[in-house]
Chains A and B, each alone.
Chain A
Amino acid sequence: DTAVSQTPKYLVTQMGNDKSIKCEQNLGHDTMYWYKQDSKKFLKIMFSYNNKELIINETVPNRFSPKSPDKAHLNLHINSLELGDSAVYFCASSQVVTVQETQYFGPGTRLLVL
């Protein structure tokens, strides 16, 4: 059983297009995240949702809009795609408790903007 799943695995698209990436977790966690990993393998948080509420919003262009229809899902919609958006996008989830916040990552979505 896949704990954190993402679709699609690969996404190749033209500049200016709008695309969405979907994420689902079956771990019963209350917090979900989107990360971007660039070509230098640097993993940087973009957004975090706790119980469907946005709690972390790093300095991400407003072309990126996350949506959490329920605790188990966090989708990422990207408008007007740019070349610099090419990266691997990871979804993750965790159960926020006092000290331990182990995050479980999905397999990643490889986005290539041409």
Chain B
Amino acid sequence: SQKIEQNSEALNIQEGKTATLTCNYTNYSPAYLQWYRQDPGRGPVFLLLIRENEKEKRKERLKVTFDTTLKQSLFHITASQPADSATYLCALGNTGTASKLTFGTGTRLQVTL
């Protein structure tokens, strides 16, 4: 069955450092992968999408890589700030009307001063 794994333990890093979160998947050939941010008591918010034929995508301080051979995506936040503290979810999807997003369990990031 399809499985998406993210680090279940919280990631604690110091302000200014680069945070790297991992998303690994098995038994899946996604057309694209997305990263969402979820703050406590709120719904997930879309951050970045990367397609299967793309290796890397950037948006401001965010960078996502997608390795379909390793079946892994890495999500980087450079120059991290306390405001980046949240849970980050990866989600895999395919195209088509009946496609759906399958979410990982998320990784909690805590950025300290």
**A interface residues (Cβ-Cβ under 8 A, vs B):** 4, 31, 33, 40-45, 48, 50, 55-56, 90, 92, 96, 98-108
Contact = CB atoms under 8 A, between A and B. Distances in A.
A102 B97 contact: no
A99 B32 contact: yes
A56 B103 contact: no
Nearest to A30: B97
A35 to B, nearest CB: 8
A6 to B, nearest CB: 9
Interface residues of B, number: 26
A55 B97 contact: yes
Contacts, number: 60
30 contacts: A40-B105, A41-B87, A41-B106, A42-B103, A43-B44, A43-B89, A43-B103, A44-B103, A45-B100, A48-B98, A55-B97, A55-B98, A56-B98, A90-B43, A92-B43, A96-B97, A96-B99, A98-B95, A99-B31, A99-B32, A101-B32, A101-B93, A102-B46, A103-B46, A104-B46, A105-B43, A105-B44, A106-B43, A107-B42, A108-B43
Contacts of B100: 33, 45, 48, 56
Contacts of B103: 42-44
Contacts of A40: 105
Interface string B24-50: 000000011010001001111110010
Contacts of B99: 96, 101
A46 to B, nearest CB: 10
Nearest to B51: A99
A54 to B, nearest CB: 10
A107 B43 contact: yes
B58 to A, nearest CB: 17
B95 to A, nearest CB: 6
Contacts of A55: 97-98
Contacts of A102: 34, 46, 49
A53 B42 CA distance: 27
A90 B106 CA distance: 16
